C-alpha cells in the first residue's frame, strides 16, 4: 500500500472528474424540489442552492448539491466539500435502493430486506467514490 500525499491540493481537472462521479452516484432528481435544486446547481447559482440546502435540511439530494457547488470555488476545505457531497450522494443512493426494494417486493413491512439493500448500495458507492478520489488525485 502506498502512502498518500496528504498536503496535495486537487487540480481543477481532478475536481471536475470527482464532481462528475458524485453526480453519477447522486442520480436524477425525482421531486419538484430536487429538480429546482438541480437547475440552480446547473446554473451555478451558489446562493440559491445554499438557501435550498438550509431549507430542506433532511434531503440528501439537495445536501449533496449544496456541498458540491462549493467545489467550483477555490477553498482550503476542498477535500471536506468533496467528502461531504460524496457522503450525501451515497445516502441518496441508499435511500433510492431502499425505496426500490420496498416497491419491488410490494411489501412495506419487509424493512429488513430493504435495509440490507440500502446498506449494500451505501457501502458499494462509498468504496466507488473513495476509489475515484484516490485514483484521480494520485501523483
Q: Where are the domains of the chain?
A: 12-90+130-137
Tell me the mean pLDDT in the region 31-57. 96
The CA distance from 121 to 107, in Å, is 20
Average pLDDT over all residues of the chain? 89
- Is the pLDDT score of 32 beyond 60? yes
Give 11's contacts (C-beta < 8 A, 6+ positions apart).
Answer: none
Q: How many CB atoms lie within 10 A of CB 109?
A: 8
Q: Could you report the per-residue pLDDT of 77-132, keeping only the tens digit for each?
A: 999 999 999 999 999 999 998 888 777 777 666 777 778 888 888 899 989 899 99
- Residue 112: its pLDDT value, please? 76
Query: In terms of Cα–Cα distance, which of 90, 100, 96 is closest to 124?
Result: 90
Q: In the predicted model, is pLDDT for residue 20 greater than 70?
A: yes
Amino acid at each position: 500500500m502506498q502512502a498518500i500525499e496528504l498536503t496535495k491540493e486537487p487540480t481543477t481537472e481532478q475536481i471536475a472528474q470527482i464532481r462528475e462521479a458524485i453526480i453519477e452516484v447522486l442520480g436524477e432528481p425525482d421531486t419538484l424540489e430536487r429538480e429546482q435544486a438541480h437547475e440552480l446547481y446547473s446554473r451555478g447559482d451558489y446562493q440559491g442552492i445554499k438557501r435550498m440546502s438550509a431549507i430542506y435540511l433532511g434531503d440528501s439530494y439537495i445536501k449533496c448539491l449544496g456541498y458540491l457547488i462549493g467545489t467550483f470555488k477555490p477553498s482550503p476545505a476542498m477535500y471536506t466539500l468533496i467528502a461531504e457531497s460524496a457522503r450525501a450522494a451515497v445516502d441518496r443512493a441508499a435511500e433510492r435502493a431502499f425505496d426500490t426494494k420496498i416497491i419491488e417486493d410490494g411489501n412495506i413491512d419487509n424493512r429488513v430486506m430493504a435495509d440490507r439493500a440500502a446498506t449494500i448500495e451505501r457501502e458499494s458507492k462509498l468504496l466507488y467514490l473513495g476509489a475515484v478520489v484516490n485514483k484521480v488525485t494520485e501523483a
